[in-house]
Amino acid sequence: MPTYTAPTKDMQFVLHDVLGISSQDIPGYEDLDRDFTGAILEEAGKIASEVLFPLNEVGDRQGCTLENGVVRTPEGFKEGFDQLRDGGWTSLDCDPEYGGQGLPYIMYTCVGEVLSASNMAFNMYYGLTHGAYSAIHVHGTDEQKQKWLPKMVTCEWTGTMNLTEPHAGTDLGMMRTKAVPQEDGSYKISGQKIFISAGDHDMSENVIHLVLAKIQGGPDGIKGVSLFIVPKFKVNDDGSLGPRNGVSVGKIEEKMGIHGNSTCVMNYDEAEGYLLGTEHKGMRAMFTMMNEARLGVGLQGYAQAEVAYQNALAYAVDRLQGRDVTGAKNPDGPADPLIVHPDIRRNLMDQKAFVEGARAFVFWGATMIDRAMRAEDKDADGLISLLTPVIKGFLTDKGYEMATNAQQVYGGHGYIEEWGMSQYVRDARIAMIYEGANGVQALDLVGRKLAQDGGKHVMAFFEMIKSFCTEHKDDEDMAGFVGPLKEASKDLQAAGMYFMQEGMKNPNAALSGSYDFMHMMGHVCLGLMWARMAKTAQDALKQDGADRDFLEAKIATARYYMARQLPATKMHLGRIQTGPETVMALESTAF
Amino acid sequence: MPTYTAPTKDMQFVLHDVLGISSQDIPGYEDLDRDFTGAILEEAGKIASEVLFPLNEVGDRQGCTLENGVVRTPEGFKEGFDQLRDGGWTSLDCDPEYGGQGLPYIMYTCVGEVLSASNMAFNMYYGLTHGAYSAIHVHGTDEQKQKWLPKMVTCEWTGTMNLTEPHAGTDLGMMRTKAVPQEDGSYKISGQKIFISAGDHDMSENVIHLVLAKIQGGPDGIKGVSLFIVPKFKVNDDGSLGPRNGVSVGKIEEKMGIHGNSTCVMNYDEAEGYLLGTEHKGMRAMFTMMNEARLGVGLQGYAQAEVAYQNALAYAVDRLQGRDVTGAKNPDGPADPLIVHPDIRRNLMDQKAFVEGARAFVFWGATMIDRAMRAEDKDADGLISLLTPVIKGFLTDKGYEMATNAQQVYGGHGYIEEWGMSQYVRDARIAMIYEGANGVQALDLVGRKLAQDGGKHVMAFFEMIKSFCTEHKDDEDMAGFVGPLKEASKDLQAAGMYFMQEGMKNPNAALSGSYDFMHMMGHVCLGLMWARMAKTAQDALKQDGADRDFLEAKIATARYYMARQLPATKMHLGRIQTGPETVMALESTAF
């Protein structure tokens, strides 16, 4: 049966050897030495393996139920959530003024991988609360923050995000939920929202919904949308719970996966709501949190691939089937383990190279968020804005693909629910869809982010790769990494150039290639990560007491990525350069 | 909610315009004129849309249950199966001597697509029976055929294939099920088999299991395996049912998909069995059917992509979200339909180009099986043997990928079971695993089929592409198709050459690239199909009364495939040529 162990050694390698976090000039990072992060990751690994992971399969099997308006989570979820709360895991990076521990976002991120890999559906109750917390923290008045945040930091109250309506998904401008101003400054919110993760449940005293709605008389479309705090139970001035608000659960959706999370249809019937931020600027409030939220979803993508990979590897080492064609490796046994077979290794190496590369990419992204927030560094903010759709889109596409590949290692057993591999695939699938479907990420990247601030950030990105390559150009050990990275980066630049030249004349020239561009850029980012990791490992190997096996495996995996994955950029570039004609040729009715 | 319509127009185009079946010199093909096949497909489409498809979601939701040793299929399955039987659908290509209609395998195939697309899990009860029928038909004695086949032709008795054991999947040599010879010439079969599709159910009077087992005292390993007929109920000499045999269902597996099919653990406890074919030659008997069975699984792969595509397309036309960047297409509505967006079109075109190309490929393969069987053409037999792992491996990988892409078009709704898209993905997933996991297909292709008969068949394959290219080299209209096909074929040949040169020295050089080779070859086959379809469509357009919209869409889709999909061969070739080092570098313990 499946197992999960937090990959703390690899995380420490990324945090300290590759990113050197404790010496980065970001306020709060000075405390993040190796012992400190090691202790946190160790403890996170424990609660993940001992509490969250055993609940993962239970959650999948039982799902959530709605009876007489009450949502029940799977057996053991409530106790597990208490342990998460009691261990202080929900307050890690929250503001100390409201009871948080004030750690940087990077710590939220690496702990988040562990929690998400061990139980994605469960961890979402906390993840959504964190998102709502951030929105109120950034956009709320002091009074609002005092009122809502302390209990959200502890997850005594959990949070949700309410954007989608049945007829308004990506196109939120069409939303119908309305907000009617009241004399006391509050609003009456009415309408229906769908796909509300953690929309209701039995693990917290209150649920604080953040709801997008239109104030009557405001501008049409997306520009007339405002954001409201709408609690399940109203809260009295002394902080105690008041009467039930006009919020109810219409339905729990039956989904392909993340069964342990209650995905609700939420009905608002003149519910009391409080404006968060400025009226008609609801989307702006949402956007502030988007880099964080989307990075979190990218993380979910590779976290599911990580747990799937761990199990596929264990199975490949354990399962005896067939013989190594170059000579038996287990001659006394009835057969050799699966891992001797080259095609199984190809599959495992694809997974390993992806997961470890993705981890470095996301952790790096988290340091940029910290740099943007804590050091108010506009360049870091611009760079992470550029990379966010890549993190979200590429890592979730690949995460699903790799979870599927891990399932494949199990042969027939992979298809049987009891063995656990199916759940990783089904759970990973949603990450490609929510928080902006991946096609929307590609559109955001090509239609918006490339040109942001006059293209400053994408140029800085290319410049960074170029300096890395220049810096190591005479290093013989790095030749096998610098060359392919340079090549891939050139491909990406050529695609960008094509968009600039052709996109002016015909926007479809760029948009037809947006998905390929997102994947190209994902490969270039992972290529950069692998080149950096290879360099780090080479340097570390020269030191006394180096963990040779680990470092040499790191270099070998870097070589694999360079040889077998990174050159995919050429295929994507080729597709982009064929132009929009074949994509747009057919009339809608001719399909 | 989802719908399904049999794509009869496209099927007729492939059968008659592209493959010209009724003028092929294969016995039995002379009757297959356009009206005849059209009438059959029309009727198949009716039963699919009216009977099988409505049961598809029911089957997924209810699954099969085991109570007190009795397996129950989902509501309506029994009645549906009666309709399938009564309509004569189960006997289409069976031998008239045993009550069949004697149609060629191509008709079984095109009807099979329709039945499988509308309800894969349901259709497997019939599909497995057909496989068992074929095995007995080819390897049985006259007496065995008289005894078992007539009721299997009508599906009054259904069939199964019993290969896998808990510790013996791909490596069947390790199987433990034993057969003890009895004085009356029968055998006592004892052991446990797993993953037995349609292993037991309530839709037929008897279940005829074909079971691989080892006769005691036979050779070790795979060479000591024999095949047995083991009925659920013994059959008296007058054909009436006798007592229950020592066969029981240990368990029904909970699976990721195909819930409507009962996947059983089968326990054999001194069950009476009858040797089928020669003793110790059980694998040979299995192999005879393998081309057929694997082509059938390849068909399942693209059939799920077909039904998923139909629904994704309908949703993309119907769902209003966002605006065409080049100007509103539905200015009076609140938004434009999804299909205006270039990235949605890219996704739909990928699906369309795959499904239509795959259909042509599989139908072409079916004609080769007919040519091999009916005209005893050894070259056709060699070619389909070569292409079988490609049909199975490539089309099921891509089928799953395309079903996932279709689900993506639905955004959040794609993840909700009620909308039906999740089922297509979950059902399609198994096709990559069973009947030889796709890694095993790649191994079969590269390790066995390429060199079969001294490489004669792969050379014939390349020769065929070359003659096509030569034939049309001066045809300006074909330049956009011949060029890319030639290029892709050259890539494939280069990979084959690499295997020949390097594989001699190190088999891992070939095996590390086997999966990429399988995909390359899949692309080349679909490229050939698209080039042929483009030519066919161009010719047809010159005729009076041509269906211009259909034919022009065909040519546009061919162009899309050539531009956006076929060049993937370069990426695969590049990977292969990086050699085995990066794949094999890590020790098993260093992962």
pLDDT digits (tens, 9 = 90+) for A337-372: 999 999 999 999 999 999 999 999 999 999 999 999
The full DSSP string for A526-581 is HHHHHHHHHHHHHHHHTSTT--HHHHHHHHHHHHHIIIIITTHHHHHHHHHHT-SH
Measured between CB atoms, which of A253, A515, A574 is closest to B346? A515
Enumerate the residues of chain B whose CB falls inside 8 A of the CB of residue A560: 582-583, 585
Q: Tell whether the model's pLDDT for residue A288 goes beyond 80.
A: no
Instruction: State the pLDDT at residue A289.
Output: 76
Contact between chains at B571 and A575 (C-beta distance less than 8 A)? no
Q: Compute the distance between CA of residue B446 and CA of residue B518 in angstroms, rounded to an integer.
A: 8
Domain ranges in chain A are: 438-591
Shortest Cα distance, chain A CAs vs residue B493, angstroms: 19
Q: Compute the distance between CA of residue A111 and CA of residue A346 in angstroms, rounded to an integer.
A: 29
User: What size, in residues, is chain A?
Assistant: 591
Measured between CB atoms, which of B194, B400, B591 is closest to A352? B591
Shortest Cα distance, chain A CAs vs residue B532, angstroms: 18
Q: Compute the distance between CA of residue A404 and CA of residue B10 in angstroms, rounded to an integer.
A: 31
Instruction: State the pLDDT at residue A591.
Output: 96
Stretch (H or E) spanning A263: strand A263-276
Instruction: State the pLDDT at residue A454.
Output: 95
Enumerate the residues of chain A whose CB falls inside 8 A of the CB of residue B432: 408
Contact between chains at B170 and A411 (C-beta distance less than 8 A)? yes
Residue in chain A nearest B166 by alpha carbon: A413
The full DSSP string for B441-476 is HHHHIIIIITTGGGGHHHHHHHHHHHHHHHHTTT-G
Residue in chain B nearest A312 by alpha carbon: B591
Q: Compute the distance between CA of residue A446 and CA of residue A513 in angstroms, rounded to an integer.
A: 9
Interface test with B, best of A165, A265, A588 (most B CBs within 10 A): A588
pLDDT digits (tens, 9 = 90+) for A118-152: 999 999 999 999 999 999 999 999 999 999 999 99
Residue-averaged pLDDT of chain A: 97
Task: Profile chain B (591 residues) by mean pLDDT over runs of 10 residues.
Answer: 97 98 97 98 98 98 96 98 98 98 98 98 97 96 98 98 93 94 98 98 98 93 94 96 98 98 98 96 82 94 98 98 95 96 98 98 97 96 97 98 98 98 98 97 96 96 98 96 98 97 94 98 98 98 96 98 98 98 96 96
Enumerate the residues of chain B whose CB falls inside 8 A of the CB of residue A422: 255-256
Measured CA distances, B7 to A302, B10, B127, B306, B356 (Å):
38, 6, 21, 9, 10
Residue in chain A nearest B263 by alpha carbon: A416
Q: Compute the distance between CA of residue B257 and CA of residue B422 in angstroms, rounded to an integer.
A: 9
Q: Is B356 annotated in the active site? A: no
Instruction: Compute CA A450 distance to the chain's CA centroid, rounded to the nearest angstrom.
Output: 21
Do β-strands B70-72 and B157-162 pair in parallel, antiparallel, or remain unpaired? Answer: unpaired
Instruction: State the pLDDT at residue B285.
Output: 82
Instruction: Compute CA A413 distance to the chain's CA centroid, rounded to the nearest angstrom.
Output: 28
Shortest Cα distance, chain B CAs vs residue A97, angstroms: 37
Contact between chains at A508 and B326 (C-beta distance less than 8 A)? yes
Q: Compute the distance between CA of residue B555 and CA of residue B550 in angstroms, rounded to an integer.
A: 9
Enumerate the residues of chain B whose CB falls inside 8 A of the CB of residue A337: 588
Contact between chains at A341 and B404 (C-beta distance less than 8 A)? no
- As given in the structure block, the two tokens for residue A518 are 């997102």
pLDDT tier for residue A318 given thresholds of 50, 70 and 90? very high
Contact between chains at A255 and B415 (C-beta distance less than 8 A)? yes
Enumerate the residues of chain B whose CB falls inside 8 A of the CB of residue A348: 591
Residues 6+ apart with CB under 8 A from A512: A576, A579, A580, A583, A584, B342, B343, B345, B346
Shortest Cα distance, chain A CAs vs residue B571, angstroms: 6
Q: Which one is catalytic: A435, A463, A487, A552?
A: A435
Measured between CB atoms, which of B254, B344, B512 is closest to A416? B254
Interface test with A, best of B340, B446, B564, B565 (most A CBs within 10 A): B564
Shortest Cα distance, chain B CAs vs residue A524, angstroms: 16
Backbone angles phi, psi at A372, to 5 degrees: -65, -45
- As given in the structure block, the two tokens for residue B550 are 């259909």
pLDDT digits (tens, 9 = 90+) for A453-475: 999 999 999 999 999 999 999 99
Do B201 and B71 touch, CB atoms closer than 8 A? yes
Q: Compute the distance between CA of residue B437 and CA of residue B397 in angstroms, rounded to an integer.
A: 10
Contact between chains at B325 and A508 (C-beta distance less than 8 A)? yes
Contact between chains at B563 and A571 (C-beta distance less than 8 A)? no
Do B210 and B148 touch, CB atoms closer than 8 A? no
Measured between CB atoms, which of A340, A430, A442 is closest to B343? A442
Q: Compute the distance between CA of residue B456 and CA of residue B590 in angstroms, rounded to an integer.
A: 41
Query: Which of A42, A48, A57 lies closest to A2, judged by CA?
Result: A57
Q: Tell whether the model's pLDDT for residue A18 goes beyond 80.
A: yes
Shortest Cα distance, chain A CAs vs residue B436, angstroms: 9
Provide the 8-state DSSP code for A450. Answer: T
- As given in the structure block, the two tokens for residue B588 are 């098993």
- Characterize A434-451 residue by residue with b for buried, 16 or more Cβ atoms within 10 angstroms of its Cβ, and e for exposed: bbbbbbbbbbbbbbebbb
Residue in chain A nearest B164 by alpha carbon: A412
pLDDT digits (tens, 9 = 90+) for A255-279: 999 999 999 999 999 999 999 999 9
Residues 6+ apart with CB under 8 A from B194: A412, B164, B165, B166, B253, B265, B266
Shortest Cα distance, chain B CAs vs residue A156, angstroms: 29
Contact between chains at B404 and A429 (C-beta distance less than 8 A)? yes
Measured between CB atoms, which of A404, A417, A437 is closest to B255? A417
- As given in the structure block, the two tokens for residue A99 are 């009871």
Do B149 and B95 touch, CB atoms closer than 8 A? yes
Do A256 and A198 touch, CB atoms closer than 8 A? no
Residue in chain A nearest B570 by alpha carbon: A571
Measured CA distances, A347 to A431, A487, B117, B583 (Å):
22, 25, 29, 9
Measured CA distances, A473 to A476, A523, A563, B220, B576 (Å):
8, 21, 18, 58, 27
- As given in the structure block, the two tokens for residue B110 are 């095109």
Backbone angles phi, psi at B160, to 5 degrees: -145, 165
Measured CA distances, B388 to A539, B365, B392, B504 (Å):
49, 8, 6, 24
E strand spans, B399-522: none
Q: Compute the distance between CA of residue B433 and CA of residue B428 in angstroms, rounded to an integer.
A: 10
User: What size, in residues, is chain B?
Assistant: 591
pLDDT digits (tens, 9 = 90+) for A184-231: 999 999 999 999 999 999 999 999 999 999 998 899 989 999 999 999
Shortest Cα distance, chain A CAs vs residue B481, angstroms: 13
Measured between CB atoms, which of B169, B348, B553 is closest to A411? B169
The full DSSP string for B111-127 is HHHHHHHH-HHHHHHHH
Residue in chain A nearest B578 by alpha carbon: A563
Do B266 and B230 touch, CB atoms closer than 8 A? no
Contact between chains at A342 and B571 (C-beta distance less than 8 A)? no
Contact between chains at A553 and B343 (C-beta distance less than 8 A)? no
- As given in the structure block, the two tokens for residue A203 are 């693990």
Do A60 and A16 touch, CB atoms closer than 8 A? no
Contact between chains at A320 and B167 (C-beta distance less than 8 A)? yes
Contact between chains at B511 and A343 (C-beta distance less than 8 A)? yes
Enumerate the residues of chain B whose CB falls inside 8 A of the CB of residue A439: 341, 343-344, 347, 408
Enumerate the residues of chain B whose CB falls inside 8 A of the CB of residue A434: 412, 415
Enumerate the residues of chain B whose CB falls inside 8 A of the CB of residue A426: 256, 426
Instruction: Please report the sign of the dihedral spanned by the C-alpha atoms of residue A363, residue A369, residue A370, residue A376.
Output: positive
Interface test with B, best of A120, A262, A415 (most B CBs within 10 A): A415
Enumerate the residues of chain B whose CB falls inside 8 A of the CB of residue A583: 342, 345-346, 349, 560, 564
Measured CA distances, A456 to A379, A380, B363 (Å):
9, 12, 53
Do B185 and B267 touch, CB atoms closer than 8 A? no
Residue in chain A nearest B197 by alpha carbon: A412
Q: Compute the distance between CA of residue A270 and CA of residue A500 in angstroms, rounded to an integer.
A: 49
Do A273 and A228 touch, CB atoms closer than 8 A? yes
Instruction: State the pLDDT at residue A287.
Output: 79
Strand partners of residue A214: A178, A225
Query: Which of B207, B177, B176, B196 lies closest to B252, judged by CA?
Result: B196
Residue in chain A nearest B325 by alpha carbon: A507
Whether the predicted interface score ipTM is above 0.95: yes
Measured between CB atoms, which of A325, A433, A514 is closest to B414? A433
Enumerate the residues of chain B whose CB falls inside 8 A of the CB of residue A195: 412
Q: Which one is catalytic: B30, B435, B476, B502?
A: B435
Instruction: State the pLDDT at residue A337.
Output: 97
Q: Compute the distance between CA of residue B485 and CA of residue B496 in angstroms, rounded to an integer.
A: 16
Do B118 and B53 touch, CB atoms closer than 8 A? yes
Contact between chains at B347 and A585 (C-beta distance less than 8 A)? no
- As given in the structure block, the two tokens for residue A522 are 């994902």
Shortest Cα distance, chain A CAs vs residue B87, angstroms: 32
Measured between CB atoms, which of B337, B343, B425 is closest to A514? B343
The full DSSP string for B358-384 is HHHHHHHHHHHHHHHHHS--HHHHHHH
Do B78 and B259 touch, CB atoms closer than 8 A? no
Query: Which of B347, B399, B386, B371 lies closest to B113, judged by CA?
Result: B399
Query: Which of A530, A521, A524 lies closest to A480, judged by CA?
Result: A530
Q: Compute the distance between CA of residue A142 and CA of residue A138 in angstroms, rounded to an integer.
A: 10
Query: Which of A252, A420, A256, A61 lies closest to B427, judged by CA?
Result: A256
Shortest Cα distance, chain A CAs vs residue B263, angstroms: 10
